[in-house]
Amino acid sequence: MKHSPILLFLILLLSFANCKKKDNRNYSYWQVNQDKFSTNDITVDEGKARHDMYAKNFTNNYSIRFNLGYFPVSDSFKIDCSLAAFSWVCFTITYNGIGYINPKKSYLKALSVNGNPQYQLSPTWFYNENKFSDSVLVQGVFNKP
Protein backbone atom coordinates (compact mmCIF):
# COMPACT_ATOMS: atom_id res chain seq x y z
CA MET A 1 0.00 0.00 0.00
CA LYS A 2 1.38 3.36 -1.04
CA HIS A 3 1.16 6.31 1.36
CA SER A 4 -0.13 9.52 -0.06
CA PRO A 5 2.13 12.60 0.19
CA ILE A 6 -0.92 14.54 1.33
CA LEU A 7 -1.43 12.14 4.24
CA LEU A 8 2.21 12.50 5.25
CA PHE A 9 1.90 16.28 5.01
CA LEU A 10 -1.20 16.27 7.24
CA ILE A 11 0.53 14.12 9.85
CA LEU A 12 3.50 16.47 9.92
CA LEU A 13 1.22 19.50 10.09
CA LEU A 14 -0.67 18.05 13.06
CA SER A 15 2.55 17.25 14.91
CA PHE A 16 3.82 20.82 14.45
CA ALA A 17 0.46 22.27 15.48
CA ASN A 18 0.68 20.43 18.80
CA CYS A 19 4.05 22.00 19.58
CA LYS A 20 3.27 25.18 21.50
CA LYS A 21 5.86 27.76 22.33
CA LYS A 22 6.28 27.96 26.08
CA ASP A 23 5.33 31.33 27.57
CA ASN A 24 8.41 32.36 29.56
CA ARG A 25 7.09 35.70 30.80
CA ASN A 26 7.31 36.16 34.55
CA TYR A 27 4.12 35.86 36.56
CA SER A 28 2.88 38.33 39.14
CA TYR A 29 1.11 37.01 42.24
CA TRP A 30 -1.09 39.01 44.58
CA GLN A 31 -3.73 38.53 47.19
CA VAL A 32 -6.69 40.76 48.01
CA ASN A 33 -8.22 39.79 51.34
CA GLN A 34 -8.41 35.97 50.93
CA ASP A 35 -8.61 35.91 47.11
CA LYS A 36 -5.42 35.00 45.25
CA PHE A 37 -4.56 36.11 41.70
CA SER A 38 -1.75 35.52 39.24
CA THR A 39 -1.05 36.53 35.67
CA ASN A 40 1.71 37.04 33.18
CA ASP A 41 -0.60 39.00 30.87
CA ILE A 42 1.05 42.29 31.78
CA THR A 43 1.36 45.46 29.74
CA VAL A 44 4.52 47.53 30.06
CA ASP A 45 4.70 51.12 28.79
CA GLU A 46 8.00 52.98 28.89
CA GLY A 47 7.93 56.71 28.24
CA LYS A 48 10.51 59.44 28.80
CA ALA A 49 9.55 59.97 32.43
CA ARG A 50 6.65 57.66 33.20
CA HIS A 51 6.95 53.88 33.19
CA ASP A 52 3.79 51.80 33.70
CA MET A 53 3.20 48.13 34.37
CA TYR A 54 -0.32 46.76 34.73
CA ALA A 55 -2.37 43.58 34.49
CA LYS A 56 -4.81 43.54 31.58
CA ASN A 57 -7.79 42.01 33.45
CA PHE A 58 -10.43 44.71 33.98
CA THR A 59 -12.12 43.09 37.00
CA ASN A 60 -9.12 42.15 39.18
CA ASN A 61 -5.84 43.87 38.39
CA TYR A 62 -3.11 46.15 39.58
CA SER A 63 -1.27 49.14 38.17
CA ILE A 64 2.20 50.37 39.09
CA ARG A 65 3.32 53.73 37.71
CA PHE A 66 6.80 55.17 38.17
CA ASN A 67 7.53 58.81 37.37
CA LEU A 68 11.26 58.18 37.62
CA GLY A 69 12.25 57.68 33.98
CA TYR A 70 13.00 53.98 34.56
CA PHE A 71 11.84 50.82 36.30
CA PRO A 72 13.82 50.74 39.55
CA VAL A 73 15.58 47.53 40.62
CA SER A 74 16.56 48.46 44.17
CA ASP A 75 15.33 50.50 47.15
CA SER A 76 11.89 51.10 48.64
CA PHE A 77 9.54 53.72 47.28
CA LYS A 78 6.74 55.50 49.08
CA ILE A 79 3.42 54.87 47.37
CA ASP A 80 2.10 58.32 46.51
CA CYS A 81 -0.46 58.89 43.75
CA SER A 82 -0.96 62.56 44.56
CA LEU A 83 1.39 63.76 41.79
CA ALA A 84 2.66 66.40 44.22
CA ALA A 85 6.23 65.11 44.03
CA PHE A 86 8.46 65.32 40.97
CA SER A 87 9.43 61.64 41.31
CA TRP A 88 6.58 59.43 42.45
CA VAL A 89 5.40 55.85 42.53
CA CYS A 90 1.70 55.10 42.29
CA PHE A 91 0.19 51.70 43.00
CA THR A 92 -3.53 51.00 42.60
CA ILE A 93 -5.59 47.84 42.77
CA THR A 94 -8.89 46.88 41.15
CA TYR A 95 -10.83 44.21 42.99
CA ASN A 96 -14.18 42.93 41.70
CA GLY A 97 -14.35 45.94 39.40
CA ILE A 98 -13.81 48.52 42.18
CA GLY A 99 -10.73 50.77 42.26
CA TYR A 100 -8.70 51.04 45.48
CA ILE A 101 -5.92 53.44 46.42
CA ASN A 102 -3.48 53.66 49.31
CA PRO A 103 -3.51 57.06 51.02
CA LYS A 104 -1.43 55.89 54.00
CA LYS A 105 2.35 55.86 54.29
CA SER A 106 3.20 52.58 52.54
CA TYR A 107 6.15 51.39 50.52
CA LEU A 108 6.81 49.27 47.45
CA LYS A 109 10.10 47.40 47.53
CA ALA A 110 12.07 47.14 44.27
CA LEU A 111 14.47 44.27 43.53
CA SER A 112 16.29 42.75 40.61
CA VAL A 113 15.54 39.04 40.13
CA ASN A 114 17.41 37.32 37.31
CA GLY A 115 18.01 40.74 35.75
CA ASN A 116 14.32 41.72 35.76
CA PRO A 117 12.56 44.22 38.02
CA GLN A 118 10.39 42.79 40.77
CA TYR A 119 8.20 44.76 43.16
CA GLN A 120 7.08 43.46 46.54
CA LEU A 121 4.16 44.80 48.52
CA SER A 122 3.84 43.76 52.15
CA PRO A 123 0.27 43.47 53.49
CA THR A 124 -1.16 46.95 52.97
CA TRP A 125 -4.63 48.45 53.34
CA PHE A 126 -6.16 50.01 50.24
CA TYR A 127 -9.32 52.10 50.26
CA ASN A 128 -12.20 52.43 47.82
CA GLU A 129 -11.72 55.61 45.82
CA ASN A 130 -15.40 56.52 46.19
CA LYS A 131 -16.29 55.05 49.60
CA PHE A 132 -13.47 55.38 52.14
CA SER A 133 -15.16 52.96 54.59
CA ASP A 134 -14.61 50.14 52.03
CA SER A 135 -11.09 48.71 52.33
CA VAL A 136 -9.14 45.64 51.23
CA LEU A 137 -5.87 44.12 52.42
CA VAL A 138 -3.42 43.64 49.54
CA GLN A 139 -0.04 41.94 49.27
CA GLY A 140 1.96 40.52 46.41
CA VAL A 141 4.97 40.08 44.18
CA PHE A 142 4.80 41.91 40.87
CA ASN A 143 7.25 40.98 38.12
CA LYS A 144 8.03 42.81 34.93
CA PRO A 145 7.41 40.22 32.19
Q: How much is the pLDDT for 23?
A: 57
Q: How much is the pLDDT for 10?
A: 52
In this predicted model, what pLDDT tens digit does every residue of 28-59 receive, in sequence order?
Answer: 999 999 999 999 999 999 999 899 999 999 89
- pLDDT band of 81, cuts 50, 70, 90: confident
Sign of CA dihedral 82, 83, 86, 88: positive
* Within a domain: 3: no
- Higher confidence at residue 8 or residue 73? 73
Domain count, the chain: 1
Note the pTM of the prediction, 2 decimals: 0.81
- pLDDT band of 86, cuts 50, 70, 90: confident
* Within a domain: 90: yes
* Within a domain: 2: no
The C-alpha atoms of residue 7 and residue 98 are separated, in whole angstroms, by 54
Q: Which range marks the domain in which residue 54 is found?
A: 26-143
* Within a domain: 92: yes
* Within a domain: 134: yes
* Within a domain: 70: yes
The C-alpha atoms of residue 145 and residue 143 are separated, in whole angstroms, by 6
